[in-house]
Amino acid sequence: MPSNEPTTRLGTGRMVALLLVGTLTFLVIALVAPWVWQTFRSASGPATMAAAPLAGLPWQIERRPDGSSLVFGLDLGHGTLQQVATRWPDEKLELALVRDPQGVFTLEGYLENIRAGFVQGKMVLTGAADTATLQGWAERATHREPQPSGTWRLTLNPQDQATALAAPLAGLVFLPAARFDEATAVERFGPAPERLTTQDGTVHLLYPEQGVVIALDPQERAKPVLQYVAPSAFDRLRAPLKR
């Protein structure tokens, strides 16, 4: 009579193998499941389901009750040039004095390449300082360079540069890298309460409540120029255009 022993041994081996595979599978699931769940939660959570809106765009302007404003993350009316340096720490803020043909000095700062949200461009800043302070900086300037516009650019000495960073931020000009037309400006900033055309054909869109003037070339030969001041100081931008 044939023996069933070999068959019994083969079945036992299979059972042992199945038990080992099952045990290993359970261990893998137990180890991996928490990581998979956490990944799923992170991927499907509110932070990734809806991306946070971009901030610091040129048309995102917060007017404050005291007549100041917040734009590009800068406080026009209360901020300083040091705030600008802190806002873009990877960009070198260059400070200089500019002397116009009438001999009037202005403190200016320059950022060669900044990103405001998804918009890139250059920025020119104006710092407020009294006449005596400006004159002292001019006398101690380390370099003087004539400009094509007929102005002179004076380089501040290192000590005066450190002092100038504390100057109040009086205004700024943003020069976007990309061209855009009037329709795009109105789409972003809204309809302009005032619209002026100067003798050279440049169209100026005035937004007194936001403290902004946008200069556009209708032929799009030149890039737009965006000027910002605190809304309470808007006449500084309007007055030269109405002369």
Q: Encode pLDDT of 82-109 as tens digits.
A: 999 999 999 999 999 999 999 999 999 9
pLDDT of residue 111: 97
CB atoms within 10 A of CB 145: 10
Buried b (16+ CB within 10 A) or exposed e, 82-118: eebbebbeebebebbbbbeeeeebbbbbebeebebee
With 50 as the cut, is the pLDDT of residue 36 above it? no
Residue 32 structure tokens: 């991996």
pLDDT of residue 52: 53
pLDDT of residue 29: 42
DSSP secondary structure of 175-222:
EESS---HHHHHHHH-S-SEEEE-TTS-EEEEETTTTEEEEE-TT-SS
- Cβ-Cβ contacts under 8 Å for 6 (sequence gap 6 or more): none
- The arrangement of strands across the sheet holding 61-63 comes to 61-63, 69-71, 74-76
pLDDT of residue 45: 40
Q: Which residues pair with 171 in a beta bridge?
A: 126
With 70 as the cut, is the pLDDT of residue 8 above it? no
CB atoms within 10 A of CB 165: 18
Cα(144)–Cα(97) distance, integer angstroms = 9
CB atoms within 10 A of CB 17: 10
pLDDT of residue 19: 41
